[in-house]
Structure 1
Amino acid sequence: MKATRRSIQAVVRWVRRQPPKMKAFLAVVSGLAALVFLRMVVRDHDNLFVAAEVVHSIGISVLIYKLMKEKTCAGLSLKSQELTAIFLAVRLYCSFVMEYDIHTLLDSATLLTTLWVIYMIRFNLRSSYMEGKDNFPIYYLVFNQLAHPLSVHSRFQIGVIINLEDSYLALLCLEPAKKAVPVAYSVVIPCAVLALYMHPRTHHNIVNRICWAFCVYLESISVLPQLRVMQNTMIVEPFTAHYVFALGVARFLGCAHWVLQVLDTRGRLLTALGYGLWPLMVLLSEIVQTFILADFCYYYVKSVLGGQLVLRLPSGVV
């Protein structure tokens, strides 16, 4: 066991010595290798989506344990939990009216536990909530990321960049809002407007199709307020780190599910989802939310291999 751990640490040290471009190349190769491994091991790739929801539920369970044991919600983002509850509620509705299956049960359990976490943060543990740290400018992110990626506005700019110093992907938002914008107006409405224009062209009711698109878009950015809290505090305690890492694993499994489904059907899945920009938006949303968490997962694994209980993030991570 010790020999294996030393070997892993040696590999990590070797990777850290590599130039930024090599690190980026190794990250891409690792992702592709993981996809190939999943394709070979998992026979029914629909199980990956189920696994993603199970891992998400495990992450929420870790949060519940933290709140009950430590009696504090320090380091948690109420905004992220509220956004999660919204997209889960909408997805649960779509599941009831469009395809009632095991996903319905998993989403129901995850929604109930998420609502409990929100209640604890808002009421029982309100005194420990870091409201000043939970300050992500959500409006600028959602509108510009989903409607105009990599564009420049007269007041703000947002895009995906690669930091060549540490070789990580990050989302930056320049000139943040001077006043806090309520979540309902800053996120829900822009995602709903986008869903009106880009949604599935299937046989289902138009309202249900728009709701489906809405929850896909909202899910893709729901974790960003939590990452901003961690960026502001620079130190992430173990339970919160486990929770966010679980989200990262869940997002990767969800992305792998869609990518492998497209490969298995030789692209026919894209036409089954409808026509227009919707199939592309589904894949883009999955890829975006995976890369959003990839940076944190790297530092999490690095911290675990180093035997550190508390995760310390360098400045500039997400």
Structure 2
Amino acid sequence: MNVFRFAGDMTHLISILVLLLKIYATKSCSGISLRTQELYTIVFLARYLDLFTDFISLYNTVMKLVFVGSSLAIVYCMRFHPTVRRSYDRELDNFRHYLLVVVCFLLALFVHEKFAFQEIFWAFSIYLEAVAILPQLVLLQRSGNVDNLTGQYVFFLGAYRALYILNWVYRYFTEQHFTRWISCVSGLVQTALYADFFYYYFISWKSNVKLKLPA
């Protein structure tokens, strides 16, 4: 494992911890898109089917279980916790996320590295992860003002994908048989989706003012 992948994993873990802190400490999910969280749950369940067939390392297994377990816990809390679910912005969070699922699955059926059950679901998870943040970004844009913890969550989530691009570049030049071009292209698309958010995040950080996205 190289330093870029480890840093990406830790940044991803931090983003989840920030989100859990917001939900469980404040008993509020205001500004958080349930639809994005449901998409991430589908992403992890589809990608980590190999938990039942392959063992790579203890670190690898633990991280997969953490991502699956935390995503399920977040969705459950936002849907069923009596206090948290009352703060959910249902009217603003109306992105038709099921269309993303259908389009990404159809794309995986035709564009994959190997026509096999796990490989198709792996490609599907990569495509879906690239666009899973869209409902969240749309929600933030509609609501305008972004609270500190929500802004940090989205920032660390975007930083994780940026670090993974460096991981793929590193692996391309150091591994003879690295061919995960689907990951590279999807990662670039996903990072590009964060560009506008990153711009306003750094402007607010530099000016020490509350993050506010233009409508």
TM-score by length of 1: 0.62
- Report 1:150-229 matches (<5 A): 183=98, 186-201=99-114, 206-229=116-139
1:242 aligns with 2:152: yes
Q: Could you tell me the percent identity over the aligned residues?
A: 34
Unaligned runs of 5+ in 2: none
Task: Between the two structures, name the one with larger relative contact order (CA 8 Å, sep ≥ 6).
Answer: 2
* 2:33 aligns with one of 74, 77, 80: 77
**Where does residue 128 of structure 1 map in the other structure?**
87
**Take 2:54 and 2:125, find their aligned partners in 1: how far apart are those partners?**
14
**Where does residue 269 of structure 1 map in the other structure?**
178
**Number of equivalenced pairs:** 212
Looking at secondary structure, tell me which structure has more strand per residue. Answer: 1
Deviating beyond 6 angstroms after TM superposition, the runs of 4 or more aligned structure 1 residues are none
Looking at secondary structure, tell me which structure has more helix per residue. Answer: 2
Q: Which secondary structure does the structure 2 equivalent of 1:235 belong to?
A: coil
Q: Which deviations, in whole Å up to 9, do the C-alpha atoms of 1:225-279 show, x marking residues without a partner?
A: 100000100110001001000001101011111122223347x523xx5xxxxx3
Structure 1 residues 198 and 98, CA gap change in structure 2 (3 angstroms): farther
Contact 1:54 1:106 in 2 (8 A): no
**Take 1:131 and 1:283, find their aligned partners in 2: how far apart are those partners?**
33
Q: What RMSD, in angstroms, separates the aligned Cα atoms of the two structures?
A: 1.9
**Where does residue 192 of structure 2 map in the other structure?**
291
Unaligned runs of 5+ in 1: 1-43, 139-182, 274-278
- Residue 96 of structure 1: how far off its partner (Å): 4.6
1:103 aligns with 2:60: yes
Structure (1 or 2) with the larger CA radius of gyration: 1
- Residue 49 of structure 1: how far off its partner (Å): 2.1
